[in-house]
């Protein structure tokens, strides 16, 4: 579709304007959109890396550090990764693990998969997860020297493990 203003270049910007309850749409090329008074933002040819930089809280204007670590396989630096918005190769995950982990946690909202549990072995998996959580809680209680609560948690763990053992003997 051609720009509705100059009729020369391809329209890449859609402007929707609502006045008195009626919406009018105008399709403009980047040049005409920049000249339009109604548009109050700056156009950038590449938006995704800038979005990722803003999401990660990184400043793309900082110069690359001369002593910055680079990936031994592809030679890319972490600042270059943040500018490009993508890793150079599979070895980058290991090379920049300490820098990537907090970013990936922020993006994905955590580090543990909490997906669906299979129907057939669901109770077994749920029991294992429950025992794991209780053992972590037990360790915390022991470190806090809260031995009465620790004993209760220990008994819960034993009870779950005994039920699990009984289920295996019945089948």
pLDDT per position as a tens digit, 27-57: 888 888 777 765 544 444 445 555 555 555 5
Residues 39 and 52 in one domain: no
Residues 35 and 57 in one domain: no
Residues 70 and 87 in one domain: yes
- Residues 29/6, Cβ–Cβ less than 8 Å: yes
Residues 37 and 61 in one domain: no
Residues 29 and 54 in one domain: no
Long-range contacts of 49-53 (CB under 8 A, 24+ apart): 49/82, 49/83, 49/84, 49/85, 51/85, 52/82, 52/85, 53/82, 53/83, 53/85
- C-alpha 66/C-alpha 70 separation (Å) is 10
Look at residue 1 and tell me if it is in a domain: yes
Residues 132 and 149 in one domain: yes
Look at residue 117 and tell me if it is in a domain: no
60-113 confidence digits (pLDDT tens)? 454 444 567 889 999 888 888 877 778 888 888 888 888 888 777 776 666 666
Residues 33 and 57 in one domain: no
Residues 98 and 131 in one domain: no
Nearest to 135 by CA among 157, 112, 103, 155: 157
| Parent domain of 6 | 1-43
Residues 36 and 74 in one domain: no
Look at residue 142 and tell me if it is in a domain: yes
- C-alpha 136/C-alpha 142 separation (Å) is 10
Can you point out the beta strands (E) in 22-166? Answer: 22-28
Which pLDDT value is given to residue 81?
Answer: 81
Residues 58 and 99 in one domain: yes
pTM of the model: 0.32
Give the tokens for residue 41. 């933002």
Look at residue 31 and tell me if it is in a domain: yes
How many domains is the chain partitioned into structurally?
3
Residues 17 and 63 in one domain: no
Look at residue 26 and tell me if it is in a domain: yes
């Amino acid at each position: 579709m051609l720009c509705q203003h100059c009729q020369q270049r391809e329209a890449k910007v859609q402007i929707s304007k609502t006045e008195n309850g009626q919406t009018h749409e105008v399709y403009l090329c980047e040049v005409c959109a920049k000249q339009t008074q109604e548009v109050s933002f700056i156009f950038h040819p590449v938006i995704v890396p800038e979005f990722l930089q803003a999401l990660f809280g990184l400043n793309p204007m900082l110069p690359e550090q001369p002593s910055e670590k680079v990936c031994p396989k592809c030679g890319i630096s972490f600042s270059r990764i943040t500018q490009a918005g993508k890793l150079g190769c599979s070895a980058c995950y290991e090379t920049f693990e300490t820098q990537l982990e907090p970013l990936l946690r922020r993006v994905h909202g955590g580090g543990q998969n909490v997906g669906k549990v299979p129907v057939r072995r669901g109770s077994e998996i749920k029991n294992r997860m429950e025992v794991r959580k209780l053992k972590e809680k037990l360790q915390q209680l022991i470190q806090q020297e809260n031995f009465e609560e620790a004993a209760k948690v220990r008994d819960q763990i034993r009870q779950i493990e005994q039920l699990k053992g009984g289920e295996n003997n019945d089948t």
